[in-house]
């Protein structure tokens, strides 16, 4: 395939030398259209899944599967072993029962929600197993194991008491938001966050330990802290009423 593209490019260069003015512009327009066709043909692979609306992982509604030549209605929701699973912009995918998935992409503007009491297992396979450019709302469990990446401007919302923040790589402009704590701090705090927000209006606990938390000293983002009856000063280094900064 790469050889074919090289041959096409060579022929185009030869043709351009023979043309000028309007002819060149027409040729470039045709070449641009061909590139768009090539891009659309090779940007997905057989067995890829994508959303066309809000979905769960328990039903086929609003799932499409690429069959090698076209996107068609999926006969079932994606499972472990399928190809890339994309939650598209404007769509929410909800984990309503325990599920194992791999090669999950949450596009910018897409949302992945894990309901309370449910376990989303992301096993470790080749490459990135969970890539987030949109939002994850976690009221359940995201089992450790796979490679998880929170890309630029992505958001992780920890919407539960206790629980565990999934181990991941956090982009400098990604956001980790703790919003559901009432009496128990979450696990998974011994990671390097860049934008970390603690805002738990329902919090009743007054002595929470987040000592393992790491905030980069040179971070461009200041992690925000809304007190709500918490006493975190002993474990957060330099603390003002509204901010947590790393030592």
Q: Where is pLDDT greater, at 10 or 2?
A: 10
| Model-wide pTM > 0.85 | no
pLDDT at residue 232 in the model: 41
Highest mean pLDDT among 86-95, 121-130, 203-212, 229-238: 86-95
For residues 181 and 153, state if they share a domain: yes
For residues 26 and 79, state if they share a domain: no
For residues 9 and 69, state if they share a domain: no
pLDDT at residue 30 in the model: 45
For residues 212 and 175, state if they share a domain: yes
Return the minimum-mean-pLDDT range out of 59-63, 147-151, 159-163, 184-188. 184-188
State how far the Cα of 215 lies from the Cα of 202, in Å rounded to an integer.
24
Return the minimum-mean-pLDDT range out of 38-42, 89-93, 199-203. 38-42
Q: Does position 74 have pLDDT exceeding 90, yes or no?
A: yes
At a CB cut-off of 8 Å and minimum separation 6, what does 54 contact?
A: 62, 91, 92, 93, 94
For residues 208 and 130, state if they share a domain: yes
Structural domain boundaries, residue 165: 46-244
How many domains would you assign to the chain? 2
Using alpha carbons, select from 190, 97, 172 the residue that is nearest to residue 140. 97
DSSP letters, 57-100, are SSS-TTEEEE-SSSEEE-SS---TTSS-EEE-TT-EEEE-S-EE
State how far the Cα of 174 lies from the Cα of 240, in Å rounded to an integer.
23
For residues 6 and 112, state if they share a domain: no
Count the alpha carbons within 13 Å of 193 in the hemisphere toward its beta carbon. 27
For residues 25 and 133, state if they share a domain: no
Long-range Cβ pairs for the range 79-84 (8 Å, 24+): 80/123, 82/47, 82/48, 82/49, 83/45, 83/46, 83/47, 83/48, 83/49, 84/44, 84/45, 84/48, 84/49
Q: Where is pLDDT greater, at 127 or 79?
A: 79
For residues 98 and 14, state if they share a domain: no
* Confidence class for position 201, pLDDT limits 50, 70, 90: confident
* Confidence class for position 78, pLDDT limits 50, 70, 90: very high
For residues 100 and 208, state if they share a domain: yes
What average pLDDT does the structure give for the chain? 78
Length of the chain: 247
For residues 83 and 119, state if they share a domain: yes
State how far the Cα of 114 lies from the Cα of 152, in Å rounded to an integer.
21
Q: What is the pLDDT of residues 136-168, one digit of tens each?
A: 999 999 998 899 999 999 999 999 999 999 999
Tell me the CA distances in angstroms from 94 to 97, 115, 118, 206, one per residue in order.
9, 7, 10, 32
For residues 69 and 39, state if they share a domain: no
For residues 2 and 55, state if they share a domain: no
């Amino acid at each position: 395939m790469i050889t074919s593209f090289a041959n096409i490019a060579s022929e185009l260069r030869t043709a351009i030398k023979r043309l000028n003015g309007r002819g060149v512009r027409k040729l470039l327009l045709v070449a641009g259209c061909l590139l768009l066709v090539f891009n659309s043909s090779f940007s997905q692979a057989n067995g890829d899944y994508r959303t066309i609306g809000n979905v769960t992982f328990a039903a086929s509604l609003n799932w499409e599967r690429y069959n090698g030549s076209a996107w068609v209605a999926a006969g079932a929701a994606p499972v472990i072993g399928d190809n890339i699973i994309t939650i598209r912009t404007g769509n929410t995918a909800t984990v309503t029962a325990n599920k194992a998935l791999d090669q999950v992409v949450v596009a910018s503007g897409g949302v992945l929600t894990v309901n309370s009491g449910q376990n989303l297992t992301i096993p470790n396979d080749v490459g990135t197993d969970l890539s987030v450019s949109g939002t994850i709302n976690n009221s359940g469990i995201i089992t450790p194991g796979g490679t998880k990446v929170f890309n630029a401007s992505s958001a992780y919302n920890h919407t539960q008491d206790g629980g565990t923040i999934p181990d991941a790589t956090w982009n400098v402009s990604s956001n980790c938001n703790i919003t559901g704590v009432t009496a128990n701090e979450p696990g998974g705090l011994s990671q390097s966050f860049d934008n970390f927000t603690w805002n738990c209006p329902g919090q009743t606990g007054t002595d929470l330990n987040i000592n393992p938390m790491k905030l980069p000293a040179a971070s461009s983002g200041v992690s925000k802290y809304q007190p709500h009856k918490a006493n975190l000063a002993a474990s957060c280094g330099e603390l003002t009423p509204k901010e947590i900064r790393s030592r």
